[in-house]
Structure 1
Amino acid sequence: MLVIDIHLVPGGFDPMKRTIGTLRIGNISDLSDISDYRIVGMEAANPFRNTPPRIVECVLVGHDRRQSVWKLLKAAADRIEEADWVPL
């Protein structure tokens, strides 16, 4: 499983760091060359957009796992953007 935590570090000042998003990507097809992945994304409340914290769960189907991890991350990010997020 890949776990990606996204931190906001205002002005590069580490004591002000806070997590604004998390992405979990897990292979659900026994590590086949062409794999399916379960994706869970979470996002903190965004006061600039006036949105509550939210969560999404979806599946990425048919990804060629021989590609770089960045291709998988992009495909997962594209997939969650299309999915239906649920407020927490």
Structure 2
Amino acid sequence: MLTIEIKLNGNLIGGAQVRNVSQLADISDYEVTAVEQAAPWIGPETNMHETFKIERHFRQQSVWALVKKVADKAFDLREKGLGL
């Protein structure tokens, strides 16, 4: 499992748990649970808790490629949830 933590001044404000659901195949699928705490002083006034999939990720890439896909999808869901 890949754990992503987002901290601001040492305080955890968001993150994700990323689980491979395809037995570590070269082209893998992942289930992601992403969360973000309300942080009105920097933006969001509500919490976020979303579960989604990342499909057909090429595992031989840098781990940052997977982190980027997770961040992009979580961002899109967060913006949609805020009505932006």
Q: What are the superposed Cα offsets for residues 35-79 of structure 1, whole Å, 9 maximum, x if unpaired?
A: 000011100102133521111110001000110000110011112
Report the 3-state secondary structure (helix = DSSP H, G, I; strand = E; otherwise coil) of the residue aligned with 1:57: strand
What's the Cα RMSD here?
Answer: 1.7
Report the 3-state secondary structure (helix = DSSP H, G, I; strand = E; otherwise coil) of the residue aligned with 2:3: strand
Where do residues 53-68 of structure 1 align in structure 2 (5 Å cutoff)? Answer: 53-68=47-62
- Between the aligned residues of both structures, percent identity stands at 35
Larger radius of gyration: 1
What residue number does 2:74 align with? 80
Q: What is the total number of aligned residue pairs between the two structures?
A: 79
Is 1:22 the counterpart of 2:12? The answer is no
Where do residues 6-45 of structure 1 align in structure 2 (5 Å cutoff)? Answer: 6-9=6-9, 17-45=10-38
Which ranges in structure 1 are unaligned for 5 or more consecutive residues? 10-16
Report the 3-state secondary structure (helix = DSSP H, G, I; strand = E; otherwise coil) of the residue aligned with 2:25: coil
TM-score of the superposition, structure 1-length normalised? 0.79
